Amino acid sequence: MKKILLVALAGGILVVAPGFRADQEDWEKAFGKIHAEVKQNSRVYETLRTATQQIGHRLTGSTQGSKAEEYAFNLLKSYGFSDVKYQPFEVVSWSRDTVTLSIVPKSSDNFREVPVVSLAHSPVSARLNAEIVDVGNGLEEDFEGVKDKIKGKVALANIGLMGAPGKKNLHRSEKTALAIKYGAGGIIMVNQAPGRILLTGTASVTGDLIKIPAVCISNESGQELRSWLADEGPLEAHINMRNFSRPIKARNVVATLRGKSDERVIVGGHLDSWDLATGAIDNGIGSFSVLDMARTFKALKIKPERTIQFVMFMGEEQGLLGSKHMVKELVKSGDIKKVSYMMNLDMTNDPQGANGFGREDMEGFFQKIGSDIKKVDPFFENRYTNRAGLHSDHQPFMLEGVPVAGLSGSLSPSVLQCYHADCDRFDLVDKQQLENTVRIGSMYLYALANAKKIPAKKLNSNQTRDFLTSQGLKQELVLGQDWRWE
């Protein structure tokens, strides 16, 4: 007996047969079915809540990280995927043990203990007593301005930008690379989120251990420290830390939905998180949305023109380790030529449009998709941005010339301030906004997988170099040791 699917649309109930495939690039009917399926049956909120409660954090290489890999694998199997595989890789992991930071005036033995966390890939053991030199925002010109007095000292730098309109910020790892370049003995990062929130994250551009201790203090502690410097003159930072580092095995989780061709679209998000909380926002909302997008496609028996791979990356937080491994394997096998597009969901929330990541040839395509989404969901704003960036799992694909995309959404300031922090917990997750990510993401993915032609083509090496330069990414890639051109 043939089953009938009832799809709720704004104008009433549409009766359609199960399983569908677009013969023309008129996405409205397909989007209506996706809209209804997610509205009625999404499990994204439930599965993310279960993971945060039962697994906790998802640090790569930890017991919890391994449990998260198994949880994602089993979910995809339960959704009906027969082709689900682990993609194992070996890396040197890092995890924190203990750290203290004491601030001591050079003119006395009095000291103040300051709450602090180690930044990832700091040395396994470090004990440093050295004078603090304030480098402001920690950009190259800031280090250049103190180059005669920074050697052997402890740099004090903002994670964000303050009082620098029009300037482009650098990642904390790139600021640490500059500290090492200019001879600093250590670095203290000041979190820009208000209050006493401690932030972690990697201080290494490569995922290898760095040779200087790197720590983070809260915004309030940073203000106090700068006040002490102004009132009391030179201060010393006494940093004492121990960490763990060892070879570990981790696994990307890959579910494949076979299409009519070997050409493929990859949609992914990083499953791993830092260990201070449960990573509900970074990147639970992204990775679990990808899992529920996979469920949606299976539930609707979608038969795409292009093959789709749904990927849970591990090791993103420690240097894009899982996505770099996947791309390395694709290049080695030659299958990178088959990847026509990569869509990355990293802290994606309540999307209202797409980001074409600097590819000028995609604006019309994405605007057309957005206009058809708007026919199904009148509240969708169909925004379009076109700005390329780094430091998430799209980066290794982009460096191989693969067109990449993201979804443009938003998070409230109160949620964003818990990025990489000890307050990134499930109570920050908005159920409706999370389901919107699945719903809108599935529509964009459907169009990418079924379009007769995707306007953006893979770039060759020289075209990729020129594209990255035009997007203003060369300096960051040089600092990150990812610039392979002269």
In this structure, the strands spanning 154-158 and 186-190 are parallel
Helix or strand run (H / E) with residue 93: strand 84-105
Task: Look at residue 14 in the predicted model and tell me its pLDDT.
Answer: 39
Structure token pair of residue 320: 């894009």
In this structure, the strands spanning 383-385 and 404-407 are unpaired
- Do 409 and 347 touch, CB atoms closer than 8 A? no
Task: Look at residue 26 in the predicted model and tell me its pLDDT.
Answer: 83
Q: What is the mean pLDDT of residues 454-475?
A: 97
Structure token pair of residue 1: 């007996």
pLDDT 10s digits, 178-217: 999 999 999 999 999 999 999 999 999 998 999 999 999 9
Question: With bands split at pLDDT 50, 70 and 90, how would you rate the model's confidence at 1?
Answer: very low
Category of 177 on φ-ψ map: left (φ > 0), alpha (ψ -120 to 50) or beta: alpha
Q: Could you tell me which CATH number the domain at 93-247 has?
A: 3.50.30.30
Task: Look at residue 110 in the predicted model and tell me its pLDDT.
Answer: 79
Give the mean pLDDT of the chain: 94
Kindly list the distances between the CA atom of residue 190 and the CA atoms of 156, 194, 223, 282, in Å, as whole numbers in the listed order: 7, 11, 9, 20
Residue 469 dihedral angles phi and psi, to the nearest 5°:
-65, -45
Q: What is the mean pLDDT of residues 105-121?
A: 90
pLDDT 10s digits, 144-173: 999 999 999 999 999 999 999 999 999 999
How many CB atoms within 10 Å of residue 191? 26
Task: Look at residue 444 in the predicted model and tell me its pLDDT.
Answer: 98
Task: Look at residue 486 in the predicted model and tell me its pLDDT.
Answer: 83
Structure token pair of residue 373: 């989404």
What is the SS3 assignment for 288? helix
**Model confidence, pTM:** 0.91
- Do 404 and 397 touch, CB atoms closer than 8 A? yes
Q: Which of 405, 403, 446, 78 is nearest to 255 (CA)?
A: 78
Q: How far apart are CA 353 and CA 408, in angstroms?
A: 5
Let me know if domain 5-83+258-479 sits in CATH 3.40.30.10: no
Task: Look at residue 25 in the predicted model and tell me its pLDDT.
Answer: 76
DSSP letters along 210-259, please?
Answer: PSS-EEEE-HHHHHHHHHHHHHH--EEEEEEEEEEEEEEEEEEEEEEE--
93-247: same fold as 5-83+258-479?
no
What is the SS3 assignment for 308? strand
Q: Which residues pair with 217 in a beta bridge?
A: 190
Task: Look at residue 462 in the predicted model and tell me its pLDDT.
Answer: 98
pLDDT 10s digits, 326-376: 999 999 999 999 999 999 999 999 999 999 999 999 999 999 999 999 999
Q: What is the mean pLDDT of residues 445-474?
A: 97
Question: With bands split at pLDDT 50, 70 and 90, how would you rate the model's confidence at 107?
Answer: confident
2 pLDDT above the threshold of 70: no
Instruction: Write b or e for each residue in 100-137: b if 16 or more Cβ atoms lie within 10 A of its Cβ, otherwise e.
Output: ebebbbeeeeeeeebebbbbbbbbeebebebbbbbbbb
Question: With bands split at pLDDT 50, 70 and 90, how would you rate the model's confidence at 273?
Answer: very high
pLDDT 10s digits, 18-60: 444 444 478 999 999 999 999 999 999 999 999 999 999 999 9
Q: What percentage of the chain carries pLDDT values higher than 70?
A: 95
How many CB atoms within 10 Å of residue 38? 26
Residue linked to tokens 């509205």: 39
What is the SS3 assignment for 164? coil
Kindly list the distances between the CA atom of residue 411 and the CA atoms of 119, 121, 349, in Å, as whole numbers in the listed order: 24, 28, 6
Domain chopping of the chain, boundaries: 5-83+258-479, 93-247
DSSP 210: P
pLDDT 10s digits, 52-101: 999 999 999 999 999 999 999 999 999 999 999 999 999 888 999 999 99
9 pLDDT above the threshold of 70: no
Task: Look at residue 12 in the predicted model and tell me its pLDDT.
Answer: 39
Question: With bands split at pLDDT 50, 70 and 90, how would you rate the model's confidence at 108?
Answer: confident
Task: Look at residue 159 in the predicted model and tell me its pLDDT.
Answer: 97
What is the SS3 assignment for 156? strand
